[in-house]
């Protein structure tokens, strides 16, 4: 699993398809965003409820990009795990904090054993900080260990 810079490294190493580019607005993002699972059959998403999760982002180069051929293949293979959405769960350009293609927040490789995401679930695990939604994602990973 690679989060934020870890996601970038996994893409640059060729372990995940695509690339992370500068945010479309050319500014650093540091805020809570919402995302929801994109699939139901992959090893992570099947353990996550069908509701928006509030997860923080903190990046200047978080805009996921893949060409149309790669993106079509990823969609067909169920490799898109998370997409940015509104608090109500609506996937839209307005809810996308960085301009990522197809509103992608997290993906996996074809085999489903390498996972990357731009938002930080580890920063949303504390009741004292008022957000525990990240625990949902991290616990979903432990089902597969």
User: Mean pLDDT, consecutive 10-residue segments, the chain of 145 residues?
Assistant: 96 98 92 91 81 96 97 95 97 96 96 94 92 93 69
3-class secondary-structure state, position 140: helix
Tell me which CATH code domain 2-142 carries. 3.40.50.880
pLDDT value at position 144?
Answer: 59
- Global pTM reads 0.93
CA angle 27, 93, 65 (to 5 degrees): 65
pLDDT value at position 83?
Answer: 97
The dihedral formed by the CA atoms of 8, 50, 84 and 87, expressed in degrees to the nearest 10: -140
pLDDT value at position 126?
Answer: 92
User: Which residues are marked as active site?
Assistant: 4, 120, 122
Q: Where are the domains of the chain?
A: 2-142
């Amino acid at each position: 699993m690679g989060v934020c810079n870890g996601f970038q490294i996994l893409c640059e190493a060729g372990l995940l398809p695509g690339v992370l580019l500068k945010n479309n607005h050319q500014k650093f993002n540091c805020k809570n965003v919402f995302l929801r699972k994109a699939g139901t059959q992959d090893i992570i998403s099947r353990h996550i409820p069908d509701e928006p999760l509030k997860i923080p982002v903190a990046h200047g180069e978080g805009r996921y990009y893949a060409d149309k051929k790669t993106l079509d293949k990823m969609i067909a293979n169920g490799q898109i795990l998370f997409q940015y959405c509104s608090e109500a769960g609506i996937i839209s350009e307005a809810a996308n904090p960085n301009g990522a293609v197809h509103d992608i927040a997290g993906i996996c490789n074809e085999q489903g054993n390498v996972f990357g995401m731009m938002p930080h679930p580890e920063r949303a695990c504390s009741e004292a900080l008022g957000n525990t939604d990240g625990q949902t994602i991290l616990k979903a990973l432990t089902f597969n260990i």
